[in-house]
Structure 1
Amino acid sequence: AVWRDPTKFQTELGNKKGVVFFWKIDGYNGGSGSHIDLIEPTSAGAVCHSHCYFTCKQIWFWELR
């Protein structure tokens, strides 16, 4: 799934865990940087294993079961 509006990602993700790709991160490598991580749901919201970059242009997600 691809979120073109990253502000909706955390609420629409629900209780899914998987691989997440943050594309064109604001302030990271001049706005052209990206990051791949593992993400899991918690009671406080989604948590990445390394770092979540929700201020980006798009978020891509592949669910792991």
Structure 2
Amino acid sequence: TKFQTELGNKKGVVFFWKIDGYNGGSGSHIDLIEPTSAGAVCHSHCYFSCKQIWFWELR
């Protein structure tokens, strides 16, 4: 996805908003995300197909 491409090698907190099929499409999820050799990985679950993703980088 565009978000995954723009994320690059950054790690941080990610907020997935308006997730299809989750609480009638209005559900959300907050997670920690970090880069790996296989791409970005969430500690719980990534919802890259949601309507909106917010990201706060951790250093």
Question: Please, what TM-score do these two structures have when normalized by structure 1?
Answer: 0.88
- Unpaired runs of 5+ residues, structure 2, are none
Q: Distance in 1 between matches of 2:6 and 2:21?
A: 25
Gaps of at least 5 residues in structure 1 are 1-6
Q: Deviations over 1:18-55 (max 9, x none)?
A: 00000000110110000000000001000000000111
| Count of residue pairs the alignment pairs up | 59
User: Runs ≥4 in structure 1, deviation > 6 angstroms?
Assistant: none
What is the aligned counterpart of 1:60 among 43, 54, 57? 54
* Structure 1 vs Structure 2 CA RMSD: 0.5
